[in-house]
Each structure stands twice: as C-alpha cells, then as structure tokens.
A and B are shown apart, each in its own frame.
Chain A
Amino acid sequence: MRVLKALIAVVALILVALVVAQVPGGQSLLGIVLPYLAFAIFLGGFIYKVVEWARSPVPFRIPTTCGQENSLPWIKQNKLDCPSTKAGVVGRMALEILLFRSLFRNTRASIHDGPKLAYGSNKWLWLFALLFHYSFLVIVLRHMRLFTDPVASFILPLEFIDGFLEVGATTIYQSSFILLAAVTFLFLRRLVRPYLRYISLPADYFPLLLIFAIGLSGILMRHVFRTDVVTVKELAVGLATFSPSINGEIGVIFFVHIFLVSVLMAYFPFSKLMHLGGIFMSPTRNMANNNRMVHHVNPWNDPKIKPHTYAAYEDEFREFMVDAGLPVEKELPAAAPEEKVPAAEETTDK
C-alpha cells in the first residue's frame, strides 16, 4: 500500500525526533543545525529548480485559450481567460495563483443508461485547496512573530483576525484547525475516490501526512503540552540573527515540530511541492494570446528545414499542370520527356 509507505515514513520521522531530542546534543541538532541545513537546501534547491526551468527556452507561444480571443473590435474578448496583453496575463495569473481559477471550473462526469453523460458542478477540491493554501500561508506568516523582535507590524492584525474566537486564556487560531481539516479532506479524498487512490503515489500521501503531523504537533504544543514560548522565541530570533542558542527546557514536542518542518523544507525542492514555483512559469498560462499579432522567436529554430520547393513540385508535375491549364514557371521542353509518375518514396528533398 502506497499510503502505508508514506505513513511509515512520517511515523519514523516523529520517532527519530523523539529519540534524538533525548540524547545529549540532540536538541541543538534538531533545533539549530538541521533547521539551518534544511533552510539552505530549501532555498538552494528552489533556486536551482527555477533556474533549471528558466534555462530551457519557450520555443513556441502555446497559451491554452479559455475564452474568446482578441479579434474584430466589435467581438467581445475574454480578457482574463484569453488575454492578449501583459496586463491581461497578469490578471489571468493573479486569478490562477490567488483564487485557483482553473480548479474552480472543475466538474464531475458520470455515465448513465442511454448512454447519457452528465457533468455536475464539483467545487469541493477548489474550496479545500484554497482553505489549505491560505491557512498554511497565514500560519507561516504568524510564525514570523517568533523570528522578529519587535514583532513585525503586519502580524498583529493578522493574529487578531485569525484568533477572534478567543476561548479561555489561549487564543485559538482558526487557521491551524482549518489547515488540519483541509489536509484531512485532501487525504481522505485520495483514499476514498477510486480513481484518485489509483493515481496517488507515496509522494502524494507523504506531504499531506507530514503537514498534518506538523499542524498537529503545533496545536499540541500550544494547547496541550505547554511549551516555554520565551525560550522558543529566543531560539527563533537567534536563528534569524545567526546567533542561535537554546537556553532552557522547551519540551520534546517542540523538537518534533521543528524537525518535521525541517524535513518539509528539505523535501520541498525535490518534490511536487515545487508547483509553488511552477505555477508562475507554466507557458500555457503565462503567455499572451497575441500569436498572430506579435512575432515570437524560437532560439533553436532551424533555418535549414525548408519546405519541399515549388520548383521540385513543378518539375515533377509540369506536364500534368500544362495539360490542365495550370500556369507554370518553366514551359515544357520541346521534346516531351518520357512519361513518369514517381511514387512518393522516389523523390526526396535532398
């Protein structure tokens, strides 16, 4: 079972963290060395991947046109789904990146007696994907409070909105729970829908389970096994200012949390999570559909590839052409040559 492989991997990672956190020096390894290493891998790997993509040219302008193109002035163009200008492309990309425009189109097909095909609206994936990505973003931004001293100004209003459901002494941030709910949906969806189970690889379950474990360990740290926030903040600011130290007891759960986050960062550039970068560079979405208006250059266009020439064509068929009254460049020679109709394979362009 592919899901089992992913589950075993995540459980093993948690166990590793639990054990290493107990051995001497282990906490420095988990809290300082590995986060630095993982961040370096994340940054380096991400940049490497993007540069690798960017080094391959875009030989052809191949936008997927999802609406009416720019045509006659009185025909209404769909400027967002079929943009012909840079501004339109920015709009299309913004819709795609911020609102998951294409996923919003999703339908679900079914076949019935008749045969009859039906396509129902199906926006659950869009909804939960949005919830997942935005809660993840909010959580990452919220964590910046730990790394900045004084706390960066944008965080307080964010926290206020995120934590308006204040229950008891500890603020409850909805984003944490929305994240867990969304991850759970995305995970169960893969297990329950047969075609998704069929296409899912360990590499699909693993990040979901890993992020679930990260979220859960975070929530546990905040609400169940209380962690010393002051020490954590000291460590985080230390990491951010390149003078990290662990001055006191933090609690094992913290080390599980930060280790899993490190794993996620290091795993990121080598996995499908790179869709974060790829979505900006997908040629079917980030190119204007101005194909016939503006010349597009292919750097490896081969000028040596030429069409079968008209001259060769006329040479082969001149007699027939003259007979049929078609104009020719060269008249027939006085003495008609032997009649011959070469087959395709007998003439080449060499």
Chain B
Amino acid sequence: MADTKAAEMKLKVVREPSLMTGAVPTHNWWDVEAIFKPGNYCYPAKKSIAEYHGKNLPGLFGEPRDWEVESDDWKLPENWKEIIINGIKERLDKFRSLRIFMDCCVRCGACADKCHFFLGTGDPKNMPVLRAELFRSVYRNDFTLAGKILGEIAGARPMTFKVLKEWFMYFYQCTECRRCSVFCPYGIDTAEVTMMGRELLHLVGVNTNWILEPAANSNRTGNHLGLQPHTFKENAEFLLDDIEEATGVRLQNLNFNRKGAEVLFVIPSADVFADPGIFTFMGYILLFEHIGLDYTISTYSSEGGNFGLFTNNQLMKKLNGKMYAEAKRLGVKWILGGECGHMWRVVHQYMGTMNGPPDFLETPRSPITGTVFENAASTKMVHISEFTADLIKNNRLKIDKSRNDHRVVTYHDSCNTARGMGLMEEPRYILNSVCNNYYEMPENTIREKTFCCGSGTGLNTGEIMDLRMRAGLPRANAVKYVAERHGVNMLSCVCAIDRATLLTLNTYWNPEVAVCGVSELVGNALIMEGEKKRETDLRAEPLAGMEG
C-alpha cells in the first residue's frame, strides 16, 4: 500500500505548493535536477533478466549489470552518449512521427494540464510539453542548425548524465496514454516520444525490472505472470467450480491448445490469476458455453498484454508474434481477443504491420449470428466487446438484467481502446443491455478524453505507489463524482491492467467502489441452460433481493 495515507494525500495534492496548486517555480526547468529517492522510481532490471533479453535481441538492452538508481554511478558504458545520439539519429530516420514531433511543437501549452501525472503531482516536467522538451532539447543540440549555432538560446542542451536521469524519471512517469495528443493542435503524441525515450534508455541498459521480467516471462512461458502451461490450465479450470457454485452449471467447453477449433481466444493472463480478473474470465467462458462457440485457449500464447510495448518495437514484435504463430499451428479460422488495453493497442495498431498479414486466417465471421467483421478483414482479430455486442444486437443471448441490480455501474474507457482504437460504444451498448443502473462519468473524463488509471505501461509496481495514487487521482475523482451523485458502486472496464490498478486506486480513493470487467456483468446476466435459481453473482455476493 501507499506510503502516504489517503487522508494525508487528500491535503497534499491540494495544498502542497506546485504548478498545479498555483505556486510559481523559481528555477528554470533545465536547472532543476531529477533526484531519485525511495518511492519515486522503479527498481532496475535484474542482471539475469537483462541478459536474457540481450541474448534474444542483441544490442537492444545494453550491458547487463547490477546498478542502483539512487547512485551517481549507473555503470553506463563509456560511450553511452554516443550510443544515445546514434540511437536518436537512427530513430529520426525510421520514424516520421519523431521528426515531426521534434520540430513542430510551438509550446502553446494546450497539453499542459491534460496529463494525469501533472494533475496529480503538479511537477512541471509532467506537463507533456516539458516531458517532450527533455528529449527535444537534446535533439536540437545535435540535429538542428539553430541548436548548433545558438545553443541554449535556441533551447538546446547537450546530452549529460543529468539529462539521462531526467529521462529515466519522466519517461517512467508517463503511461503513453495519449490524452495530450487529443488536445494538441498538431497531434503531437507524447506516447511516441516516451516510447523513443525508453528505447534509447534500454540501449544503454537503463531499465526497470517490473517491465523486463514480465516481458521475459511472456517470451518463455507465454504469459507475463510466468504461469507454466499446467498451472495456467489448472487456474482456469479451478474457476469452473466457482461458476458451478454460482449457477449450478458445470461448463463443458473450456479447453486448451486444441487443434481445429474455429476461434483462438487470447486473454490477458491476469484473468485466470487474480481477483477481479478471474470474474471476467468466468464471464467469457459462460458466454462461450451459452452460445456454443467452438473456441480454444492457448497456453503458449497465453498473454494478450504486450510488455514489449513498454520497451522497444522489436521486443513488442517478438512477443506479439506468438498470436499468429499459434493461430497457424492450431489451424483456427480467426482470433478473438479478451479485455486488455495494451494488447488492443498492439493488436489494432501494430500487429498486422509487424507480423501480418495472416493469410492463413479468414475474415472473422461470428458463427452464431453470421456477422462478418469487415473492420478486422486484414488483421483477423475481433474484440470481445465487438463480438458480444453483435450477439446482443441479434438477440442471441438470454439475459436477465436484474441480476446486476445490486450494481450501480459506470464505465472507464481504457486509454488504449479509446485513443488507440476507437472502441467506445460497444462496451456501453453491452452494459446498457445487461445492467439496469448505468451512469457515465463527467464528459471530460470519458471516451477520447478518458483518464488513465495512472499505472499503465509497466508502472503498476508497488515501489512507486504514492506516484500511482497521484497519477490516478483524476480518474478516481471522476469515479467519486458518480459514486456520490448516483451511488455508483462498480467501475467496469475492458482492461486487465485497469482491473488490477483501479482496484488499488479505488481502495485508496473510493473504497466503496469495486472494479470489474464488462464480461463479468455479462456473465452475471446470462440465463444458462439448466441453471439453478440464482442467488449470488459470480463473486458469490448476494443478488439484489437475496441479501441476508
């Protein structure tokens, strides 16, 4: 749990002098040093883990070593500056986005107060414009005429250890959520800048364990938790008991690594591992049983979430490649994806390009409704919300909405599905079809303007809990608003990181509000064949009217 108690934090975020609370900084930003102390940084990767990645993708993860963030000696390679500058050059030549985002910012400030990290910390360098200036200042120094001639007057500064420390601090206080990019008049996307910054940091071996270890697990065991195949299967099957207890029905169709299934279903692995993801998983498999879907789940490709996305595009590609490889091996027709934000950013915006086109698959067609998902004609992967919404629209589900009457529900748009995909109406349509009590959070905090949970892109680690609670404040505050106004007691979402982090966030800021996946509420509402009289929901909590 966080070091600072919520009661104290409530005062701090409002009263502590910061740019957010009206205090004016006294030093130029480039004169303010990044100082690491316990609680404001993520632990570096273990040497063995860095070695593992270095062997798989040579040259991209720097020199494996043990190092300490608070020390002034990060044991960097002698030519680390050269590596960074060459790395920038390479990326400028590979990414038009980077070139344009380096050159075009006018510092209009429209992005400044759009970042959840800035709103929660008031730290000026968490304004997206300054976060990017940390990078841009080095770019100007080495790659622009004005910077070379005018130096500091043109806003240029050479790469130094001081700058490197700032990069490590602030590229890991950004969740690449893209909210700032919605408001930028040129569409400058800080996510791109942060991604490049992190790629460069990895080149010189500056990294975090909470990202690299799950990434190593994903590569080896198929999922970030490191669940080996038998454990993954056992965990999932264990949930069949819970389902039977709640519904009286023993599901028959759950299966793994089965060749010849019509659909490969890929989930974020946390959905078979931890509360409340497991209830979402129960929702998925209840739904599939309800409609008789011919599906299989793979233990080899048992992770939707892509931790490579938080490191560099090469590792992202490598981890993502499993989905198509497994679809091909099993001979499925198309792929269905569960509720996972980062997975969908990668599936929607990167997968086809990196590892496609998958000519061995067919354009996804719902075997139940016959609907052809033309919007997935190339990538061949459909989101569970698209799939479920289509089923409901075609009246293929027997639903008893009242089974969610004990919930007053709101919906949190995951950054990735909202701003990196455009999936906004499908989950809302589902929620309105399976719940009687649904309320939206304020307009400036949902859909494309949604606030990040505060812990995305590999930041949901315990050692930075205070920071996470601050960064999640804008989201938590919007939840609080509907909790007080409408009695909302359930925050639904379609993202596994959300399910983990919003739970922590709500426990801290809004203890009365629980967190669930959309599919959990679907599962609650489904009238299963041969079911018993339902008294509890999938969490074994009493339904409305069944209390006591």
Which residues on the B side are within 8 Å of A125 (C-beta)? 108-110
A23 at the interface (CB under 8 A from B): no
Residues of B79-116 contacting chain A, CB below 8 A: 92-101, 103-110, 112-114
Which residues on the A side are within 8 Å of B375 (C-beta)? 69-72, 84, 290, 292-293
Residue of B with least CB distance to A279 = B186
B329 at the interface (CB under 8 A from A): yes
Contact of B378 among A119, A198, A293 (CB under 8 A): A293
B19 at the interface (CB under 8 A from A): yes
Describe B's contact surface by its main secondary structure.
helix
Given A81-B448, A194-B19, A199-B130, 17 more contacts at CB 8 Å?
A55-B93, A56-B98, A65-B422, A109-B114, A112-B14, A115-B477, A116-B477, A201-B155, A283-B96, A295-B378, A296-B353, A301-B354, A307-B219, A307-B321, A317-B230, A320-B228, A345-B51
**Interface range on chain A: under 10, 10 to 19, 20 to 34, or 35 or more?**
35 or more
A153 at the interface (CB under 8 A from B): no
Residues of A129-157 contacting chain B, CB below 8 A: 129
Residues of B158-200 contacting chain A, CB below 8 A: 178, 181-189, 192
Residue of B with least CB distance to A313 = B300
The 8 tightest CB contacts between A and B, nearest first, are: A69-B422, A307-B321, A278-B104, A324-B230, A65-B422, A284-B187, A285-B187, A292-B379
Which residues on the A side are within 8 Å of B21 (C-beta)? 111
- Do B14 and A111 touch across chains, with their CB atoms under 8 A apart? yes
- Do A282 and B104 touch across chains, with their CB atoms under 8 A apart? yes
Describe A's contact surface by its main secondary structure.
loop
- Do A313 and B113 touch across chains, with their CB atoms under 8 A apart? no
Residue of A with least CB distance to B447 = A67
CA distance A72 to B378 in the complex (A): 16
Which residues on the B side are within 8 Å of A333 (C-beta)? none
Contact of A105 among B92, B183, B325, B420 (CB under 8 A): B183
Residue of B with least CB distance to A274 = B103
Which residues on the A side are within 8 Å of B543 (C-beta)? none
- Do B103 and A278 touch across chains, with their CB atoms under 8 A apart? yes
Which residues on the A side are within 8 Å of B299 (C-beta)? 321, 326
Most buried by A among B13, B96, B390, B429: B96
- Do A195 and B109 touch across chains, with their CB atoms under 8 A apart? yes
Question: Interface residues of B, CB < 8 Å — how many?
Answer: 133
Residue of B with least CB distance to A329 = B329
Contact of A317 among B105, B109, B186, B229 (CB under 8 A): B229
Which residues on the B side are within 8 Å of A203 (C-beta)? 146, 153-155
- Do A282 and B100 touch across chains, with their CB atoms under 8 A apart? yes
| Segment at the interface with A among B52-60, B458-466, B491-499, B510-518 | B52-60
CB-defined interface of B445-471 with A at 8 Å, one 1/0 digit per residue? 101110000000000000000000000
B318 at the interface (CB under 8 A from A): yes
- Do B184 and A102 touch across chains, with their CB atoms under 8 A apart? yes
